[in-house]
Structure 1
Amino acid sequence: MSAARCALVFAVLPLFAGCGMLASSPETPKVSTVGMLRMQGDLTGAGGQLLFQPCNEQRRYVVKDRDNTGILQEATSLAGADGKVFADLRGTFAASKAANSDGQLDLHQLYRVERPANACGDMNFKRLTLHANGNGPAWNVNVSGKGMVVERDGQPPLALPYVEEQMPDGRFSISTEANNQRIELWVAPQRCVDSVNGSVQHLSAELRINGQTQRGCGYYGGSRDD
């Protein structure tokens, strides 16, 4: 285990034993998102607590994992050299008297956790409803209210209209038959780990083009309120 991961684990060690992995969390009734905020920022461990600092802010919030998202384990596995990870999450932010913090975050939804990079500066995030990507060969799909853009290794990008179809079990598909091709993106609410960079995302995805399937991961963009 790297020094950064050790630092994060031991900084929040009192919390570790009580957290469950996202993959093994028991099913719970869907919680209303009324009053909750979705935010992105950095996670760090300090003084036996997990702290969240939103992008471009100085405030830090003590994280309380109310829905057993497994955020501590996910963060520990991806901690950078400075002991930080990027997180995209939803919860209730409230004032708190906890030492060394500016408030408390009651966490209910974890969209993704990844190694620190330039995610806070992603200019496309707010206009997207969905992002999905995979590897071997690499592919990337961005979906917005204006259409979907499909990018594949060695192929020119395709900007296409689409139809979305919802399934009863939470799955949905994004599909198009433009440009004489049948393209489908199937998405399911399931923890998914990127095979190249190790990032953890809350959706699994399958890209099907003319009968060929490639698997990957995904997350909701900033313009989708799920």
Structure 2
Amino acid sequence: MRLRRTLLFTLLPLFASCQVYTGKPVDEQAAMTRMQGQLYFSGEQLIFTPCGEKRQFVIKNDASSNLRDDAKALYDDGASTLQVDMRGLLGSANSNDGSFKPDTVYRLQREGDLCNDLVYRLTKVRANGHEPDWNIGVSAQGLLLERPGQKALVLPYLEEQLPEGRMSISSEANGNRVELWVTPQHCVDSMSGAVSHLTAELRINGQVMRGCGYFGGAQP
């Protein structure tokens, strides 16, 4: 009897460990993939086709993404196929080649061809605004500021990572003080209706201009 009790107490920790084991945790952030391609509606389903592929993925609804509403708004303006740059999780589906659950939509637009964006992989940040028009691109080679009727400026810069995914990029050269501040926030271009994931504020010698932006492939 004593031997039987001893054996039972010896096995209790093993039984307990079996009850609390839930399997290896999945790191969703590490499993996410950034992809570019075309987006269109097929009935009520939103379908994504990656660049250079024939596979079709059903977009899964996700409370953290406004992708369906944004795509619907652009479709209502007459677009047939949209261009999208997004990050999310690939999964299974009852039909098509699988599903895609978006986490971050970097860009959604009617015009352009994201699949042939030759400077995408070299770009850290790109932003633009209107009234007045301005366009700024940031890469390892420098900061490029373009404005209609003015000579393009190529400047060295300092980059500062801030809490909550914000970023500050500043330059002071040739008598110009340029500061770009970007914040993760849903942003719609006032002219084209294009959607991006960053709001942008550009300051040139104290003048403040606002617009939208996105992280390129060179930004971790």
What are the superposed Cα offsets for residues 170-194 of structure 1, whole Å, 9 maximum, x if unpaired?
A: 3221001111211100111111111
Partner of 2:210: 215
CA contact (8 A) 1:88 1:113 kept: yes
Q: Distance in 1 between matches of 2:141 and 2:29?
A: 26
Partner of 1:89: 86
TM-score (norm 1): 0.80
Q: In 2 relative to 1, CA 157–70 (structure 1 residues): closer, same or farther, beyond 3 Å?
A: same
Q: Distance in 2 between matches of 1:48 and 1:41?
A: 19
TM-score (norm 2): 0.82
1:64 aligns with 2:57: no
- What's the secondary structure of 2:87's corresponding residue? strand
1:133 aligns with 2:128: yes
CA contact (8 A) 1:67 1:107 kept: no
Root-mean-square deviation over aligned CA pairs: 1.7
Q: List gaps (5 residues or longer) in structure 2.
A: 1-26
Comparing 212-221 with 58-67, greater Cα deviation is found at 58-67
1:43 aligns with 2:10: no
Structure with the higher fraction of residues in helix conformation = 2
Q: Distance in 1 between matches of 2:187 and 2:217?
A: 19
Kindly name which structure, 1 or 2, has the bigger radius of gyration based on alpha carbons: 2
CA contact (8 A) 1:84 1:116 kept: no
Partner of 1:180: 175
CA contact (8 A) 2:155 2:171 kept: yes
Match of 1:146 among 127, 141, 144: 141
Number of aligned positions between the proteins: 193
Q: Distance in 2 between matches of 1:97 and 1:136?
A: 45
CA contact (8 A) 1:130 1:224 kept: yes
Q: Distance in 2 between matches of 1:56 and 1:105?
A: 17
What displacement does 1:75 show? 0.3
Identity of aligned residues (%): 46
What displacement does 1:158 show? 0.9
